[in-house]
Amino acid sequence: MPRKFLKRHMPDHHKIREHKHLRVFGELLHDPNLWHLNRRSAAGAFAVGLFCAFVPIPMQMILAAAMAILFRVNLPISVALVWITNPLTMAPIYYFAYKLGAWELGQPAQEYPSAPSLEQIVTGLNQVWAPFLLGCFTLSVVTAIAGYMLIRGLWRLHVVRQWRRKGRRRGKGR
Protein backbone atom coordinates (compact mmCIF):
# COMPACT_ATOMS: atom_id res chain seq x y z
CA MET A 1 0.00 0.00 0.00
CA PRO A 2 1.45 3.35 -0.90
CA ARG A 3 2.07 5.28 2.27
CA LYS A 4 1.46 8.63 0.56
CA PHE A 5 -2.03 7.57 -0.56
CA LEU A 6 -3.02 6.47 2.94
CA LYS A 7 -1.55 9.55 4.61
CA ARG A 8 -3.38 11.83 2.19
CA HIS A 9 -6.75 10.28 3.08
CA MET A 10 -6.26 9.88 6.82
CA PRO A 11 -7.68 12.48 9.18
CA ASP A 12 -5.38 14.58 11.33
CA HIS A 13 -4.47 12.81 14.58
CA HIS A 14 -5.16 15.97 16.60
CA LYS A 15 -8.73 15.98 15.29
CA ILE A 16 -9.18 12.32 16.26
CA ARG A 17 -7.76 12.88 19.77
CA GLU A 18 -10.37 15.59 20.33
CA HIS A 19 -13.33 13.52 19.04
CA LYS A 20 -16.02 13.50 21.73
CA HIS A 21 -16.39 9.71 21.81
CA LEU A 22 -12.66 8.99 21.75
CA ARG A 23 -11.69 11.38 24.55
CA VAL A 24 -12.49 8.55 26.96
CA PHE A 25 -9.11 7.01 26.03
CA GLY A 26 -7.24 10.12 27.22
CA GLU A 27 -3.45 9.76 27.32
CA LEU A 28 -3.57 6.37 25.58
CA LEU A 29 -4.13 8.24 22.31
CA HIS A 30 -0.66 9.77 22.57
CA ASP A 31 1.08 6.47 21.79
CA PRO A 32 3.01 7.13 18.54
CA ASN A 33 2.37 3.56 17.34
CA LEU A 34 -1.29 4.47 16.86
CA TRP A 35 -0.35 7.01 14.21
CA HIS A 36 2.52 5.26 12.39
CA LEU A 37 1.93 3.90 8.95
CA ASN A 38 3.90 0.77 8.19
CA ARG A 39 3.07 -2.71 6.99
CA ARG A 40 2.42 -4.08 10.46
CA SER A 41 0.28 -1.21 11.70
CA ALA A 42 -1.76 -0.90 8.49
CA ALA A 43 -2.43 -4.64 8.21
CA GLY A 44 -3.31 -4.86 11.90
CA ALA A 45 -5.59 -1.84 11.56
CA PHE A 46 -7.41 -3.49 8.68
CA ALA A 47 -7.87 -6.64 10.76
CA VAL A 48 -9.20 -4.67 13.74
CA GLY A 49 -11.44 -2.42 11.64
CA LEU A 50 -12.91 -5.27 9.61
CA PHE A 51 -13.46 -7.38 12.71
CA CYS A 52 -15.31 -4.56 14.46
CA ALA A 53 -17.32 -3.63 11.36
CA PHE A 54 -19.35 -6.82 11.59
CA VAL A 55 -19.89 -6.81 15.35
CA PRO A 56 -23.58 -5.92 15.76
CA ILE A 57 -23.31 -3.30 18.48
CA PRO A 58 -23.83 0.44 18.50
CA MET A 59 -20.72 2.63 18.65
CA GLN A 60 -18.43 0.21 16.83
CA MET A 61 -15.91 3.04 16.53
CA ILE A 62 -15.19 2.91 20.26
CA LEU A 63 -14.62 -0.84 20.11
CA ALA A 64 -12.30 -0.39 17.11
CA ALA A 65 -10.39 2.38 18.91
CA ALA A 66 -10.02 0.25 22.04
CA MET A 67 -8.75 -2.71 20.02
CA ALA A 68 -6.36 -0.48 18.02
CA ILE A 69 -4.95 0.84 21.30
CA LEU A 70 -4.72 -2.68 22.73
CA PHE A 71 -2.92 -4.09 19.66
CA ARG A 72 -1.03 -0.83 18.98
CA VAL A 73 -2.07 -0.58 15.32
CA ASN A 74 -3.05 2.44 13.25
CA LEU A 75 -6.05 4.05 14.95
CA PRO A 76 -7.50 6.13 12.07
CA ILE A 77 -7.63 3.16 9.71
CA SER A 78 -9.21 0.93 12.36
CA VAL A 79 -11.89 3.45 13.20
CA ALA A 80 -12.62 4.34 9.56
CA LEU A 81 -13.15 0.74 8.48
CA VAL A 82 -16.08 0.18 10.83
CA TRP A 83 -18.07 2.42 8.49
CA ILE A 84 -18.34 -0.52 6.09
CA THR A 85 -21.49 -1.20 8.05
CA ASN A 86 -23.28 2.11 7.78
CA PRO A 87 -27.01 2.87 7.67
CA LEU A 88 -27.10 2.07 3.94
CA THR A 89 -25.19 -1.22 4.05
CA MET A 90 -26.21 -2.52 7.46
CA ALA A 91 -29.43 -4.28 6.43
CA PRO A 92 -27.99 -6.33 3.55
CA ILE A 93 -24.80 -7.16 5.45
CA TYR A 94 -26.63 -8.29 8.57
CA TYR A 95 -29.17 -10.23 6.50
CA PHE A 96 -26.27 -12.00 4.83
CA ALA A 97 -24.77 -12.67 8.28
CA TYR A 98 -28.06 -14.20 9.40
CA LYS A 99 -28.28 -16.39 6.29
CA LEU A 100 -24.64 -17.46 6.76
CA GLY A 101 -25.26 -18.33 10.42
CA ALA A 102 -28.42 -20.27 9.56
CA TRP A 103 -26.48 -22.19 6.92
CA GLU A 104 -23.68 -22.93 9.41
CA LEU A 105 -26.18 -24.23 11.94
CA GLY A 106 -28.06 -26.24 9.31
CA GLN A 107 -31.28 -24.32 9.93
CA PRO A 108 -33.64 -23.00 7.29
CA ALA A 109 -33.71 -19.20 7.11
CA GLN A 110 -36.87 -17.69 8.57
CA GLU A 111 -39.27 -15.87 6.27
CA TYR A 112 -41.22 -12.94 7.66
CA PRO A 113 -44.70 -11.78 6.79
CA SER A 114 -44.99 -8.43 5.00
CA ALA A 115 -46.83 -6.80 7.96
CA PRO A 116 -45.68 -8.62 11.11
CA SER A 117 -47.31 -8.12 14.50
CA LEU A 118 -45.29 -7.37 17.64
CA GLU A 119 -45.73 -10.97 18.79
CA GLN A 120 -44.40 -12.28 15.46
CA ILE A 121 -41.39 -9.97 15.71
CA VAL A 122 -40.54 -11.12 19.26
CA THR A 123 -40.99 -14.77 18.29
CA GLY A 124 -38.88 -14.21 15.18
CA LEU A 125 -36.09 -12.56 17.17
CA ASN A 126 -35.94 -15.56 19.48
CA GLN A 127 -35.44 -17.78 16.44
CA VAL A 128 -32.86 -15.68 14.57
CA TRP A 129 -30.50 -14.38 17.25
CA ALA A 130 -28.21 -17.45 17.34
CA PRO A 131 -27.70 -17.73 13.56
CA PHE A 132 -27.37 -13.96 13.29
CA LEU A 133 -24.64 -13.73 15.94
CA LEU A 134 -22.80 -16.76 14.57
CA GLY A 135 -22.90 -15.25 11.07
CA CYS A 136 -21.63 -11.91 12.37
CA PHE A 137 -18.80 -13.62 14.23
CA THR A 138 -17.88 -15.65 11.15
CA LEU A 139 -17.87 -12.54 8.95
CA SER A 140 -15.78 -10.68 11.53
CA VAL A 141 -13.12 -13.37 11.76
CA VAL A 142 -12.95 -14.20 8.05
CA THR A 143 -12.80 -10.57 6.88
CA ALA A 144 -10.25 -9.66 9.56
CA ILE A 145 -7.93 -12.49 8.51
CA ALA A 146 -8.45 -11.80 4.80
CA GLY A 147 -7.91 -8.06 5.25
CA TYR A 148 -4.75 -8.60 7.27
CA MET A 149 -3.28 -10.99 4.73
CA LEU A 150 -4.34 -8.86 1.75
CA ILE A 151 -2.76 -5.68 3.12
CA ARG A 152 0.44 -7.50 4.09
CA GLY A 153 0.62 -9.00 0.62
CA LEU A 154 -0.15 -5.76 -1.22
CA TRP A 155 2.36 -3.85 0.89
CA ARG A 156 5.03 -6.44 0.21
CA LEU A 157 4.24 -6.39 -3.50
CA HIS A 158 4.57 -2.62 -3.52
CA VAL A 159 7.94 -2.76 -1.73
CA VAL A 160 9.29 -5.43 -4.09
CA ARG A 161 8.24 -3.35 -7.10
CA GLN A 162 9.95 -0.30 -5.61
CA TRP A 163 13.16 -2.29 -5.11
CA ARG A 164 13.06 -3.52 -8.69
CA ARG A 165 12.51 0.02 -10.03
CA LYS A 166 15.45 1.28 -8.02
CA GLY A 167 17.59 -1.58 -9.29
CA ARG A 168 16.66 -0.80 -12.90
CA ARG A 169 17.46 2.89 -12.38
CA ARG A 170 20.86 2.03 -10.92
CA GLY A 171 21.60 -0.24 -13.86
CA LYS A 172 20.77 2.49 -16.39
CA GLY A 173 22.96 5.04 -14.61
CA ARG A 174 26.14 3.03 -15.18
The reported pLDDT for the residue numbered 8 is 65
Query: What contacts 41, CB < 8 A, 6 or more positions away?
Result: 33, 72, 73, 74
Closest CA to 101 of 127, 66, 68, 70: 127
The reported pLDDT for the residue numbered 131 is 94
The reported pLDDT for the residue numbered 128 is 87
Q: What angle do CA 125, 126, 128 make, to 5 degrees?
A: 60
Closest CA to 53 of 148, 140, 162, 142: 140
CA diameter of the chain: 81
The reported pLDDT for the residue numbered 19 is 64
Q: How far is CA 109 from CA 56, 91, 97, 120, 141, in A?
A: 19, 16, 11, 15, 22
Q: How far apart are CA 103 and CA 128, in angstroms?
A: 12
The reported pLDDT for the residue numbered 9 is 60
Distance of CA 72 to the CA centre of its chain: 15
pTM of the predicted model, to two decimals? 0.77
The reported pLDDT for the residue numbered 124 is 73
The reported pLDDT for the residue numbered 116 is 66
Query: What's the distance, Cα to Cα, between the start and end of the chain in Å?
Result: 30
Question: Which residue stretches of the chain have pLDDT < 50?
Answer: 1
